[in-house]
Amino acid sequence: MQLFDLKGKTALITGASNGLGEQFARSLSSVGARVILVARRFDKLNDLALKLNNAKTIQMDVSDQQSVKSCFAELEKDGEKIDICVNNARIAILTPIFEEDDQNNFESIIQTNLMGVWYVTKAVKNYMKNHGIHGSIINIGSVNGDAFPYKEATAYATSKAAVIHMAKSFVTELSKYKIRINSIAPSLFHTPMTDHKLGTDQQRQEFAGKIPMGFVATPQDLDGALLLLASNAHSSYITRACITVDGGKSFGTSWGL
């Protein structure tokens, strides 16, 4: 952690109320960054902020463009700066393709997972540009968007593929302002959102057996990729990259779930 010293930097993390977002906030805070915690569930944000040094909380719904604009107006009013943005907010609804409610689920996932990243990235870009900040934007994709999606995850995989490609496309617009944008593509990690999918202890062992590294990772296993991409000191020439963190699982031909 001493290697990635982020003292004096401020990081905004969307979807910070639990799971990967909570760990991203803890990780960035642990190396000295001021963290701005953003999510729809304000009560959980406050609980987390009390456990961190130099944290601020803002309630924001990334799927609502007006909510995003209001959030950034508040940051501007408070004189905050944003050096790092982690686009983590997402929803994952697994549903059989072409079921009766699949269109509503598909639209909600795309609105949050894709349009939410678009709204926040646009706002962050303008914020960094206006304040002359050479910042880092990190999109949280998924191996489901870059390899083989597990069953009943068409909408989720589509949204994550678009998020990864969006980051690659944005580089032409952001590089002229010295703003870097990259993605991290995790596999299935132990989080409240995914643990129900892993099922019983026996099912967890079976799933781990399909991973070349032999275990299901925890959110802390993403710290290295996150801190590398967040640090201008160590990744000033890295942009448009997508770092896969999956223990080798995407090497296979099927999730088997």
131, 81 contact by CB (below 8 A):
yes
SS percent in the chain: helix, strand, coil, step 5: 50, 15, 35
Out of 119, 127, 150, 156, the active site residue is 156
Cβ-based neighbours of 215, under 8 Å, separated by 6 or more: 208, 247
Nearest residue to 115 via CA among 14, 246, 245? 14
- Annotated catalytic residue 127: no
Rounded to an integer, what distance in angstroms lies between the CA atom of residue 137 and that of residue 139? Answer: 7
Measured between alpha carbons, how far is 22 from 15 in angstroms, rounded to an integer? 8
Question: Closest Cα to residue 256, out of 213, 210, 187, 190?
Answer: 210
141, exposed or middle or buried, with CB in 10 Å at 0-12, 13-18, 19+? buried
Supply the residues annotated as catalytic: 156
